[in-house]
A and B are shown apart, each in its own frame.
Chain A
């Protein structure tokens, strides 16, 4: 008989090994899936994981994309992971990301066509505030009324998507756009453009911010009392309360931080890679970041690596779409599988598997 025995402490070795095991399992089952839809599994896996970085022809184009895609994922996932650590489930990052882009772009466009070096910083602040404000809705409702933050933050994603559709064909529409929906192109206006800091690498301000966020989150969680309080709240909510940690302040801090980071990610995206506020701006980064946060074990360094890996599946997926005619949705399924396998093998971190008859207690 197979029994599970709870470990007194989560296993350090398995904490590192389980994400790798999950990736291997996903490749295995993903390969089977690709086989079923009529693509050679080996070719598909190679196209997704190897070609974006090392293909002689495409790598030059797709390598910089790695950082472009990883930047927002890491930035959002860092914010989410801090909330998840405290048991606060903000799953509406997609909405906060959209609102950050809308608010930041609106702040910038209000000053168009002024030229100033201060405009981009102003937009970043407005973007962060937009995301923060959007996240404050579930936070304040939870603190004041005990409303479930999972449902409220998710409902607000749909509200934000409708707002996005509304402003991109209304308030923020490009007056010179001949009636087409979509704002002015922010990446072509020198005051607002978020250019690559080092040409040819994909490294723009948002990616830099994501890296800084990784470092600050690490310091917060391991060296700062607020980080300790967050971890304590997640591990033992009652103990945290007795120790004087205010649950309300933790909720406001975690949701606010996640919202601000997601809002900034949205702003960097709208001023850089996306270029304009348009109906299809929401790209699902806010949801994929949830996978990134878990795949990275809610640890800043882990999230950095997980974000890069997830970005690789995005680019590899596009490449596979182009080269092998694999449907784009299969990548989404691939990412979903990864999260599922990770959660499944996670049992090894917290429990010991005992085979054989256990002694009767």
Chain B
């Protein structure tokens, strides 16, 4: 094994790339959970976004259009979840699982003819001045637009939840849907919008996997990224800033793991591949062992069905 092959500048740059899909999915899911809805279908929406983005990018040659369509597909799929859980009052856990199974099936059906193809990837932005800085320039300022968009979304979500009236209403709906309803807020409408935002973000994250990070379509390519995004929301105790930290930490782990494999670590490739999942479990244990804090942070009505009787 030769560790000197690992270039620290490229390492940081690739951490940003590998963290972006889970960051997008996690920030979207955080908004959903803030509104009191637990959508376990992130994996399904991500992989649908991945396949739709890839197909559109191949057929039009425009990766940005691919991203837009992936977001739309994610939002539409999540709307199905929203209608079932909010209008037909189905169990959120079961419906979310169903969404994941549905998305996995749908994506492998749609993606079959596209396996092994190569889509045009996003160009790297040339940021004047900043991009020319010696070390930092290549690390931080020579990525594609989606990396920066994901960071913008995080800041926007943070500001939205903290400073705007609409954000306050969304949090109120998540903390106590009955009170919010009594105050005249449209609980179901707020939740449906939040669910669709989460779906769009997951779709973008999936498209980033198939269009930039890999960039190819293979069946089941998200490989649990959606579930890791869900874990990051718990890790972040429902705060936008910590979602960012969590996603970059996990991005770091998966990149490091791949780098070690590439550096010629001969024993136990499989043990390295399972490390992101094991570390997710460890982090979950660590976060939830502080029980008084973690239960305090979760939106009070998370996962509960809302049915207005009056």
Residues on A facing B (Cβ under 8 Å): 4, 6, 37, 89, 91, 137, 141, 144-148, 150-152, 154-156, 158-159, 162-163, 165-166, 287, 290-291, 294, 327, 329-337, 339-340, 343-347, 350-351, 361
Contact = CB atoms under 8 A, between A and B. Distances in A.
Contact of B109 (A4, A144, A327, A350): A327
B234 A350 contact: no
Contact of B98 (A141, A145, A150, A336): A336
Given A162-B274, A343-B84, A154 B227 contact: yes
Nearest to A5: B309
A154 B93 CA distance: 13
A287 B281 CA distance: 20
Given A151-B280, A290-B97, 9 more contacts: A148-B234, A151-B230, A155-B224, A287-B101, A291-B98, A331-B105, A339-B102, A343-B90, A361-B310
A343 B91 contact: yes
Interface in B256-310: 268, 270-271, 273-274, 277-278, 280-281, 284-285, 288-289, 291, 294-295, 307, 309-310
A291 B95 contact: no
B270 A151 contact: no
Contacts of A287: 101
Given A6-B307, A165-B270, A343-B95, A155 B227 contact: yes
A332 B274 contact: no
B231 interface: yes
A162 B270 contact: yes
A46 to B, nearest CB: 20
Nearest to A153: B281
15 contacts: A4-B89, A6-B309, A91-B97, A146-B294, A147-B285, A158-B277, A165-B270, A333-B102, A333-B106, A333-B109, A335-B105, A339-B101, A347-B88, A347-B90, A350-B89
B111 to A, nearest CB: 8
Given A150-B93, A163-B270, A337 B102 contact: yes
Given A150-B40, A151-B231, A344-B88, A159 B307 contact: no
A93 to B, nearest CB: 12
A330 B234 CA distance: 34
B104 interface: yes
Contact of A89 (B93, B95, B103, B289): B93
Name the interface size band of chain B: 35 or more
B223 interface: yes
B105 A329 contact: yes
Nearest to A338: B98
Main secondary structure of the interface of A (DSSP, over half): helix
B133 to A, nearest CB: 38
The 4 lowest CB-CB distance pairs between A and B, nearest first, are A333-B105, A336-B102, A332-B105, A329-B108
A340 B80 CA distance: 9
Contacts of B309: 6
A287 B98 CA distance: 10
A146 B101 contact: no
A329 B51 CA distance: 14
B270 A147 contact: no
Contacts of A159: 274, 277-278
B9 interface: no
A330 B106 CA distance: 7
Contacts of A339: 94, 97-98, 101-102
A332 B80 contact: no
Contacts of A291: 98, 101
Nearest to A343: B90
A19 B234 CA distance: 34
B112 interface: yes
A158 B279 CA distance: 12
A6 B234 CA distance: 32
A148 B274 contact: no
Nearest to B80: A340
A327 B281 CA distance: 35
A202 to B, nearest CB: 25
A294 B84 CA distance: 15
A158 B273 CA distance: 9
B84 A344 contact: yes
Contacts of B277: 155-156, 158-159
Nearest to A152: B281
A340 B112 contact: no
A63 B101 CA distance: 27
